Structure 1
Amino acid sequence: MFKSTFHALCITLALGGAVYSAGAAAAGQSGDVPEVATSTAAETQVSINHASAEQLAAAMNGIGLKKAQAIVSYREQYGPFTEVAQLKEVPGIGSALIERNSSRLKL
């Protein structure tokens, strides 16, 4: 099973490279890296002081609606966060979760 899966992955990667090369040549870039629209961290950041529970759940990795609601409830009870690390005070939110989402969060 592993061998056939690995073989299929290799073929897929090889075909992807061939498609990329053909696309670059057709675009006249002859091997240059094509311009790809990428989103920056600023475009995907969510404010922990202003976002709704739904927005927090959608933007954060490992946060469901229940934990997002806990963040909003904490914010409503204790006031706005003064730093992102303060999220650790919310029950169910730990350091690993904050680290994983640090690029997505702002005050």
Structure 2
Amino acid sequence: MKRLENKSVIITAAGQGIGKETAIHFFKEGANVIATDINRTNKLEQLSKEYPKIKTYTLDSTNAADIKKFADTISKVDVLFNCVGFVHNGTILDCEEKDWDFSFNVNV
């Protein structure tokens, strides 16, 4: 038996990088994986082609309506792995309030 057999895992920002590799790892450990990303990129579609049992979903994790719509499609969550992140280019002194707010909303 694999370590995550029959566990439901949601991974955000799974279109590339750490998120994608995490989705693959959890899948190989037996999890039922839902991989989300803000963009329906070729990379997210490629993940779905390589691993057809990984469900993919376009999701803006800063948008409450998107989250509600997504939540209504799932019945069970055992693990939530959040890879979403935003970094402002420049110093904190150069950061405008809107950029600070966006960064906070995404990262926290």
Please classify the TM superposition score into its range, dividing by the shorter chain length: under 0.3
Higher-helix-fraction structure: 1
Structure of larger gyration radius: 1
TM-score (norm 1): 0.25
Bigger share in strand: 2
Q: Structure 2-normalised TM-score?
A: 0.25
